[in-house]
């Protein structure tokens, strides 16, 4: 089975034709001198897509059998309440279908 990071990289490559794709890092990281730094928002989507015209899309990447955590579901709910798009993608084909849908809206 393909890893989530390889799926994510394929999705990033496909979506880059729509705009800027940002990978969101979340977690606790150590600086070179060992100090912990907390980064991101718990449950934050893996990717954020910034498109022409101000369209902003939060994308959670999952393997075919992957499931959202409670924190990810909370983040999705909050993002949608604020009027943003939130999409779960499991393959580069999902990204291609998303692009087709966006282009059919234009």
Give the pLDDT score at 106. Answer: 76
Cα–Cα dist 106/97, whole Å: 15
Q: Rounded to 5 degrees, what are φ and ψ at 66? A: -70, 150
What pLDDT was estimated at residue 105?
86
Per-residue pLDDT of the chain (106 residues; tens, 9 = 90+): 789 999 999 999 999 999 999 999 888 999 999 999 999 999 999 999 999 999 999 999 999 999 999 999 999 999 999 999 999 999 999 999 999 999 898 7
Distance of CA 11 to the CA centre of its chain: 9
CATH for the 4-105 domain, from 3.30.540.10, 3.40.50.300, 3.40.1350.10, 1.10.357.10: 3.40.1350.10
Euclidean distance between CA atoms 30 and 6, whole angstroms: 24
How far apart CA 11 and CA 90 sit, in angstroms, is 9
Buried residues in 59-91 as b, exposed as e (16+ CB within 10 A): bbbbeeeeeeeeebeebbeebeeeeeebbbbbb
Q: Given this model, what pLDDT does residue 2 score?
A: 86
pLDDT at residue number 1: 76
User: Are residues 60 and 89 in contact, defined by beta-carbon separation less than 8 angstroms?
Assistant: yes
């Amino acid at each position: 089975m393909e890893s989530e990071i390889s799926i994510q990289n394929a999705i990033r490559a496909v979506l880059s034709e729509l705009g800027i794709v940002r990978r969101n890092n979340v977690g606790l990281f150590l600086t070179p001198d060992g100090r912990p730094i907390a980064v991101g928002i718990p449950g934050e989507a893996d990717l954020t897509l910034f498109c022409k015209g101000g369209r902003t899309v939060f994308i959670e990447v999952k393997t075919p059998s992957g499931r959202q955590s409670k924190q990810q579901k909370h983040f999705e709910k909050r993002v949608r309440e604020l009027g943003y798009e939130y999409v779960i993608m499991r393959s580069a084909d999902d990204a291609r279908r998303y692009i087709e849908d966006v282009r059919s809206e234009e």
